[in-house]
Amino acid sequence: MTEIPLQQHIAPSGEQMTVRDLASCPSPERWHDWVEYDAKAWPRRVEKHYEIIPTICFNCEAACGLLAYVDKETGRVRKFEGNPYHPGSRGRNCAKGPATINQVNDPERILYPLKRAGKRGEGKWERTNWEEVLETFASKIRAAIVEDRRDEVMYHVGRPGHDGYMERVLGAWGVDGHNSHTNVCSSSARFGYQLWCGADRPSPDHANARFILLISSHLETGHYFNPQAQRIIEGKMKGARLAVMDPRLSNTASMADYWLPTWPGSEAAVLLAMARIILAEQLYNREYMRRWVNWQDYLAAEHPDEPQTFDRFIEILRDLYVDYTPAFAAKESGLTEESIVDIARQIGHAGTAFAAHTWRAASAGNLGGWQVARVLWFLSVLTGSIGTPGGTAPNSWNKFIPAPFLKPRPAEVWNELLFPPEYPLANYEMSILLPYFLKEGRGKLSAYFTRVYNPVWTNPDGTSWIEMLTNEERIELHAALTPVWSETAWYADYVLPMGVGSERHDLMSQETHAARWIGYRQPVLRVYKEHQGETVQYTYQANPGEVWEEDEFWIELSWRIDPDGSLGIRKYFESPYHPGQKLTIEEYYRWIFENSVPGLPAAAAKEKLTPLAYMQKYGSFEIPQEQAPVYTLNERELDAAALADAQIDERSDKIMRNGTTIGVMVDGKAYEGFPTPSRKLEFYSPTMKEWGWPEYAIPGYTLSHVHPSNIDHQRGEYLLIPTFRLPTLIHTRSGNAKWLYEISNANPVWVHPVDAERIGVETGDLLRVTTEIGYYVNRAWITDGIRPGVVACSHHLGRWRLETSTGIDRWSSALVQLGKEQDGTWHMRQLEGIRPFESDDPDSARIFWREGGVHQNLTFPVHPDPISGMHCWHQKVTVEAAHANDRYGDVYVDPRKAQEVYQHWLTMTRPQVNRSDGLRRPLWMIRPYRPAANTFKRQLVDRHL
Ligand code: SF4
């Protein structure tokens, strides 16, 4: 870097490049050589030259656009800012986006593949090489496939960061091995949405709404945090009113017109009271309901002797919810009757411009939490605001997943470790129960990959995961694919460093608003080197150390599993442009951009670019609405070709072809409808009835396991909310981001002043929080921002490491002693909190925070909802002042009690193993990885029940 006079640099075009203005958000024409003054040189005017390369943030699922500023002098990324050309984020990011630079430069990062040198969990590691890693796993996986043990290969993912890539890999291998984190996250809300409309996520059009209702602090729980936050504020600026139902005064609630601090688990009662008011006061959208709700199915099944008319349906509907008076809802929730009535009327008057959203929080916390999403969607149905401007669409209308070349056939195997017989309706894999299932001998794993996933820390009952991971008979080989150390990686056989957001390829799309777009994550230093004329064969050659990207890892591994193509696997990883040659990652995406994204080739041609070059230049593309409309897609009419050979079922109006429902007749017209069995919105779910839950055939209110009647404050009992996130941290992936830890480094227990007085504590005092299986010790924070009777603790903090200088980043982790006693109980004690340390980064010596929080999830038992399978996070706890020998960060766990709680919740299920049709699960229901249709039928008598 040198101090230079203005007008000195000459761009390739001949244009003189220098600081022309102090603008931010430079236009793409200037990205090849963007010039800024060096802030550190101030007051001298020293210019720095950057190449700006777009990529996609990987620090939550929102997939915002980032621009990497690559310093031309050093060839390193200097900073990340927002990409104004990204349709979702529009140049704006939350704190976690720019903090990607911390992750790139983290002095503690893992740079080379590691192999354990001692026993599992002993903490002894040696550097290995990728060739050895690939060969070891390829031979293990190949043996499992050849010997038809296709349920012994498992890929267990936390943050996928891509759409569809791994499903293709696992499909090519022919294994049923996709496992996810979703049943500690969103599977319950998904289930409620799926019952209604066949899609399992909502997509609110906040920017055009007149009234917005959010159940719990979804913005802070990380769901599309920044893109949706922008649009909520946009809607508010245009006059929308915002109500937030959350027992905690979140940042979102603090921006709302109405904060509704409901008792956790009572949300469905409040929403049904609102539905009752909307029905009673004739505020519902009669025509929409008549046309699109499956009321005919309901009357035929449940009231066959009544007139089969819509008017009679509405009368019955009113009767069904007559008990949900404002007084009842107020009693359950603690809200006032007036506020419930007022908001119900505003929702009714907003009509088709009513936007609503719930995701984790209430749905994720409670037994039957899926009813919250289901009843919230009921309000959208009543107002006719499904997929309208200002309404809420199924996510599939606002998300675009382009197809890759050569799709593998679905696997011919069903893995009961993922979808066991007790949970036929589980919306996602029964991930939290894997340790129990393996312990019970339901199976074993030959090759297990955890990828950006940290179940030892994140899941309930983490010690059961430690016991599972250290059992070499049940898990024969385990690799943790991770960009950062995790508590789980500590117990792996291999720790394989993978790129952070700017060091990898992925394709992403999210339902951030009423549009469809794709975002292209690209490894920016690889792109930079290629622009400099260098040839880069693999991304790791441009990344720091030997940090790989997953996409290339899976291609290499697949070629080694099937080196001669005889297993039929290799062909999926051969170039679509050069038959027989190994697929390059550039070719994979090039093919998609050229063939699967409507409008992209034309947009690229306008700029005389190839589709790939267009995506490399801008990093994202919004599909023109004429090619991908986004509103009221259920009303797409079926054309004559679609209707050829189709039959219409007279009673239900379903349009069938070859045994499959392809649409529905409404008022004499053939429509596509919704992807449900009836092709309508299913107020009435025959599925629930057929699969053993007739009492839940229509939307209702399920009493949560943390209903007030189960909690006695006089005995020191409280309801613990352990789910809320901080907008500045990323589950367990922000330990390598110093700026984020500088902002957020403690997770005290929120306690209302009334409760604090009863307990006898003040802010900063130590509390002991006792769960069903153990306890933890943390500090109290006394605040009016939580409703009385409820305590809350953010789930982010409390990272730990077992060795002084290896393992979890020292920015974020305490050094602990963790041990199992003779009696089987586990104890953790912090030996040292967070301390400054010497490294290449001088900031590590400046760390000022000393306590990094307390790990609470270890003390939670599993609570799998018997229907959706979701872990129900909320729980009854006892809160008291700490005992004499308690120390900050202490954790105690009794695994025998954990086993008892697991057994208890298992008894709540209703396995459907004796069905005459042999089905394991309704065929129409989504599975994240979907094996062949014939595997949905049970072939053998179940061996476990
Ligand atoms: S909202 Fe998510 S994707 Fe967007 S900048 Fe923040 S962490 Fe990154």
Give me the helices (H) in 470-621, please.
Answer: 524-531, 550-561, 585-595, 600-606, 611-618
User: Ligand 1 pocket test: which of 55, 56, 58, 59 has the largest number of ligand atoms within 8 Å of its C-beta?
Assistant: 59
60 CB within 6 A, ligand 1 = yes
d(CA 198, CA 656): 17
Q: How many CB atoms lie within 10 A of CB 296?
A: 18
Cα(897) to ligand 1 centroid in Å equals 39
Helix (H) or strand (E) holding 314: helix 310-320
Ligand 1 pocket mutation pick from 93, 102, 159 by most atoms within 8 angstroms of CB: 93
Q: Which of 56, 64, 510 to mutate to test the pocket of ligand 1 (most atoms within 8 A of CB)?
A: 64
Q: Is 229 in the pocket of ligand 1 (CB under 6 A)?
A: no
List, as one string, the DSSP characters of 239-303.
Answer: T-EEEEE-SB--HHHHTSSEEE-PPTT-HHHHHHHHHHHHHHTT-S-HHHHHHHB-HHHHHHHH-
| Residue of 726, 703, 716 lying closest to 874 (CA atoms) | 703
The Å distance, Cα 325 to ligand 1 centre, comes to 41
Quote the ligand 1 centre to 453 CA distance (angstroms). Answer: 18
Q: What gap in Å lies between CA 632 and CA 653, rounded to an integer?
A: 19
What lies within 8 Å, CB to CB, of 727 at 6+ separation is 94, 95, 219, 220, 222, 225, 251
pLDDT of residue 446: 98
What is the reported pLDDT for 7? 36
Which among 408, 339, 690 is positioned nearest to 571, based on CA atoms?
Answer: 408
Between the CA of 428 and the centroid of ligand 1 the distance, in Å, is 24
Check if 94 has its Cβ closer than 6 Å to any atom of ligand 1: yes
List residues bridging with 879 in a β-sheet.
769
What pTM does this model have?
0.95
| pLDDT for the residue numbered 739 | 97
62 lines ligand 1 (CB under 6 A): yes
Residue 59 CB–ligand 1 contact under 6 Å: yes
Mean pLDDT split into 10-residue runs, the chain, 945 residues: 39 55 78 92 93 96 96 97 96 95 97 97 96 98 98 95 93 97 94 96 96 82 82 96 95 93 97 98 98 97 98 98 98 98 98 94 94 98 98 96 96 97 96 98 98 96 98 98 96 98 96 96 98 97 97 98 98 98 98 98 98 97 94 96 90 90 96 97 98 98 97 95 90 92 96 97 98 98 97 94 92 96 97 96 97 97 98 98 98 98 98 93 94 87 42
Tell me whether residue 22 is exposed, middle or buried, using C-beta atoms within 10 angstroms of its C-beta: 0 to 12, 13 to 18, 19 or more. exposed
| Phi (first) and psi of residue 926, to 5 degrees | -65, 145
Q: Which residues have CB under 8 Å from 574's CB, separation 6+?
A: 580, 581, 582, 583
Q: According to the model, what pLDDT value does residue 218 have? A: 64
Task: Report how far residue 340's alpha carbon sits from residue 434's, in angstroms, rounded to the nearest whole number.
Answer: 42
**What's residue 359's pLDDT?**
86
Cα angle: 764, vertex 769, 774; to 5 degrees: 140
Ordered alpha helix ranges (H), 607-669: 611-618, 640-643
**Does the CB atom of residue 225 touch ligand 1 within 6 A?**
yes
